[in-house]
Structure 1
Amino acid sequence: MKKKIKYRVRDFLRCIFSPLGYTWGRFIVTHKYIPNFKSPKSFSEKLIYRKFNVDPKLLSILVDKYTVRRYVKEKIGDEYLIPLYLVTEYINISDFEKLPSEFVIKTSNGGGGENVKLIENKNTIDLNHLSETFNQYLTIKAGHGVDEHFYDIEKPQVIIEKLMRHKDGSFPSDYKIHVFNKKNETKIIIQIDEDRFGNHKRSLFDINKQKLNFDIQPKYESVKSDYDWPNNFDEMIYVAKKLSEDFKYVRVDLYNIDGSIYFGELTFCHGSGWEPLSSKETDFLLGSYWEEFE
């Protein structure tokens, strides 16, 4: 209910002030400085600029969670793709009969994690309600309200894939690898989101696995400095670089399951531009890594 109210207020303000006017005001409230959207310099300014100025068709197949699988297969091979159980334009309760007890259900056009649900035992779930909920999600223009219109181009579908766990049954950390491809070098910042469905922790690290002294959305508990990195860390970086090589900036999300690397998604507008950094100075530092739009 609270989310519905929040979205209604957002949509009302966007109608009154226009999407760009609303964004300008929200930017000041969120990031605590006046933005320059005509000649963006900071990381957050460039995220917003990308939303309003880049042709959505250029990114649509890359943000759709089903169509992007072909891109990943061509770039690095299908061994990095999470096993897929079902893809459908309309989910029926009978579709669950042949599925294993646990799985992940999501929509191909979802953003921000709201259209994703982890099912650990389908026998304890109201599958009729689950079907109705996800069929309803398919009717929603996910990108419209946040000005990420690339989410609204491909045909939305329900995807059901394997629920990935470590051998001990625990869920993996999210490795969100921010890749900035500059003219003469590549800058990488590794965002680790640990225990997302419990005590969510987040920290940023550099390519040398050293924790940085700033954060994105610094409301979470910090990941420990001596984090237990996977042995094939270098392969993860290779995968991130390969998937990002066509862009000036993109966030490549990966999982590492007992040494096996799996692709999560490509994100072109991290947090839709609404996750503040620790300071304005940090925002402009990351913006200097992103050589585009100026």
Structure 2
Amino acid sequence: MMFYKLLVFILGESSFLRWKYYYRTGRRLNLRKPERFSEKLQWLKLNHRLPEMTQMADKILAKQYVSERIGEPHVIKLLKVFELPQELQWDDMPPPPFVLKTNHDSGGVRVIRDKSDFNVQELQRFFEQKMHSFYHVNLEWEYKNIQPAIFAEEHLQGANRANLLQDFKVHCFNGKPRFIQTISDRESGAKENWFDTEWNALDMCYFSTNKAKVKQPATLGEMLVLSEKLAGKFPYIRIDWYNCQGRVYFGEFTFRPYGGFMNWNKEEVDFELGRLIKLPN
């Protein structure tokens, strides 16, 4: 983290993005006339910064944002907020099961089913490593002014009592849902699938070439309608959903998935998705 922070300080934002884009993709970044999806995400990092994006990227504040727009029933219940990892003590926890998450980064998640999952030292060590600004990793401005915190939320149990629910990532371009991405079996070997809004499978991926059998959720239509309500004026936004016992729950907002540093299985996909983004003046 300190390495990235130092590089941003030395190079400045634009040069840092050019360096990291080349480091991650092997390509030079065109910021003057971006064409690729991955390039336009970098352009948006530098040129499209709206105050509400900070609230939306904050996983705690996003609950209020979503509740005001589509209703509280679609929001996973917030149980408790902790400012520091040292506050994580079993006697201060809500009744299990629950999920501990960070509000300001990616990957800060622990599922607590009962007291056997609550190793105080391990949890405090894990979350201590997360208590820094996520902004410097990929220069995603929306994370820059989020005050890091840890929160407990209701645990939604998946099929066959699975700890991790299948999430459905709805990619919206200029306010319209266009694709649904799923990433399955993260714990045993990630599998990535893409579908259009009619649930036709698409040959595109950047995270994993392995595929899973993912059934069309009965609530797909509702997810798409709700996504359009939340997508608003953003040139691009990804909205994640969970389908639990026939109900749709909001997961999170993402403005630059994978930091925008993806290498697609087919290069033309990068250009096709890039054409869908209309950059603001």
Same fold (TM over 0.5): yes
After TM superposition, give the deviation of residue 21 of structure 1 in Å.
2.8
Of the three residues 147, 150, 171, the one matched with 1:155 is 147
Q: Select the residue among 184, 194, 213 that pairs with 2:184.
A: 194
Counterparts in 2 of 1:177 and 1:122: CA distance versus 1, 3 Å: same
Q: Residue 118 in 1 paired to residue 105 in 2? A: no
Distance 1:58 1:40 in 2: 25
CA contact (8 A) 2:177 2:224 kept: no
Pair 1:269-2:256 in alignment? yes
Stretch moving more, 16-25 or 67-76:
16-25
- 2:101 pairs with one of 91, 106, 109: 106
Where do residues 33-52 of structure 1 align in structure 2 (5 Å cutoff)?
Answer: 33-52=27-46
What is the aligned partner in structure 2 of residue 214 from structure 1?
Answer: 204
Write the mapping of 1:44-63 to structure 2, written as runs, cut at 5 A: 44-55=38-49, 57-63=51-57
Q: 1:283 to 1:234 in 2, by over 3 A?
A: same
Give me the whole-angstrom Cα distance separating, in 2, the residues matched to 1:129 and 1:41: 44
CA distance in 2, matches of 1:24, 1:136: 27
TM-score, normalized by length of structure 2?
0.88
Give, as a single letter, the amino acid of the residue that structure 1 aligns with 2:183.
D
Paired positions, count:
279
Provide the rounded CA distance (Å) in 1 between the counterparts of 2:138 and 2:32: 19
CA contact (8 A) 1:57 1:153 kept: no
1:177-210 CA-partner distances (Å, limit 9, x unpaired)? 101127xxx3511001122223321111101101
- Which residue pairs with 2:160 in the alignment? 168
Deviation at 1:11, TM superposition (A): 5.5
Aligned to 1:252: 239
TM-score (norm: length of structure 1): 0.85
Unaligned 5+ segments in structure 1 are 1-6
Unaligned 5+ runs, structure 2: none
Identity of aligned residues (%): 28
Provide the secondary structure at the position in 2 that maps to 1:165.
Answer: coil
Cα shift at 1:32: 4.2
> Contact between 1:177 and 1:251, CA under 8 Å: does it hold in 2?
yes
Q: How has the CA–CA distance of structure 1 residues 23 and 108 changed in structure 2, closer, same or farther, with 3 Å as cutoff?
A: same
**Matched position secondary structure for 2:160:** coil
Distance in 2 between the 1:246 and 1:273 partners?
Answer: 20
* SS of residue matched to 2:202: coil
Any residues of structure 2 matched to 1:85-104 within 5 Å, and which?
85-91=79-85, 92-94=87-89, 96-104=91-99
Query: 2-side partners of 1:222 and 1:193: how far apart?
Result: 9
Where has structure 1 moved over 6 Å in runs of 4 or more? none
| Structure 1 residues 133 and 166, CA gap change in structure 2 (3 angstroms) | closer
Q: 1:236 aligns with which of 196, 199, 223?
A: 223
| Contact 2:177/2:228, CA 8 A, preserved across alignment | no
Cα root mean square deviation, aligned: 2.4
